A = this chain, B = another copy of it.
Amino acid sequence: MKNTFGQSVAVTLFGESHGSEIGAVLDGLAPGIRIDEDFIRHRLSLRRPFGKISTARVEPDEFRIVSGVFEGKTTGTPLCILIPNTNTRSSDYSKEIPRPGHADYTAECKYHGCQDPRGGGHFSGRLTAALVAAGAIADSVLRECGIRIGTHISRLAGILDRPFDCLDADIAALSDLVFPVLSQSASEAMKREIELAAKDGDSVGGVLETAVTGLPTGVGEPWFDTVEGILAHALFSIPAVKGVEFGAGFDFASMRGSEANDAFRMANGEVVTVTNHNGGINGGITNGMPILFRCAVKPTPSIFLQQDSVNLETRQNTALSIKGRHDPAVIHRARVVVDSVTALVLCDLLAGRFGTDFPTTAFRQIGKD
């Protein structure tokens, strides 16, 4: 249903990069969830540009919760968050010459020239701030249930981070890192790579890897509403995400079944798998092991190098030099967006499975017994 996602817990996104505000409506959350505004601010800060490797446009991201919260807790009715846009320079944009790799041309095709072109309008990565604010609330709900989400840059321009090791410690460590890389040396190398690209007026892409721990078994559906399918559906909304794989993902292509299958074993009275090539999901349904997935993030399309494009008015070829303020990499900023979208999707799945009072009684009694 267009700009709304979720069935039991749903998020609706609105706004444009250079409008007065962007925002989100979060509906279906259980009543009584404590809202921690500092945590929301912290999550938003992880999305903000920083240092030399980011755009010069910095937004304070002051948010305002307009509805759905009373005396510091969710009411159970729709929660609307508004985030004002303050630092905008609208003269930087026109509709005539679409920027390669951006949605300018497809927006023109779909909206017949009525779209707001300023800063990418409704397509702008700016809208992910609203997803992050909503996701921070969803994340609070999950943490009450012992569910943790963490994402790192596993690959950037040929440089690999170390793999996840002790998940709980790694997730905890990541939550405070502005540049979310587990290995200190990989982190330095990646930042250098971004600076190099910036110096060339160019940009870089990479891969984000996410782990989720603490999910109960039996969540998801066998066909269509598989956990993989629903997560991927939402994750592909994140601008620049062009691939999603679960567990071994594309590496399965080189495996044999005897390697790929995750053997079952008993451990402390629980069924576990020895390996986790399936990323915690079999037949679309959680098996109690950590969920593991990776998102391919393409290089920011805004670069300072001259590019070939067309003039949609004159229908002639032309050259385009993009001015303005842009990121040589968005992957470190996209991290908290991936976490947020994941939190929103999981709240939806859990509320569908355990009822609208999740995360209270129902979840504790059914999900954990």
Contact = CB atoms under 8 A, between A and B. Distances in A.
The quantity of this chain's copies bound in the complex is 4
A278 B310 contact: no
Contacts of A271: 105, 310, 312
Interface residues of A, number: 160
A79 to B, nearest CB: 7
Interface in A103-160: 103, 105-107, 109-116, 121-123, 127, 155-158
A24 B204 CA distance: 39
Given A68-B14, A77-B121, A101 B261 contact: yes
Nearest to A326: B257
Contacts of A6: 1
A203 B256 contact: yes
A282 interface: yes
B4 A122 contact: no
Contacts of A353: 355-356
Contacts of A27: 1-4, 12, 14
A218 interface: yes
A127 B223 contact: yes
The 3 nearest A-B residue pairs measured at CB = A103-B283, A243-B245, A203-B257
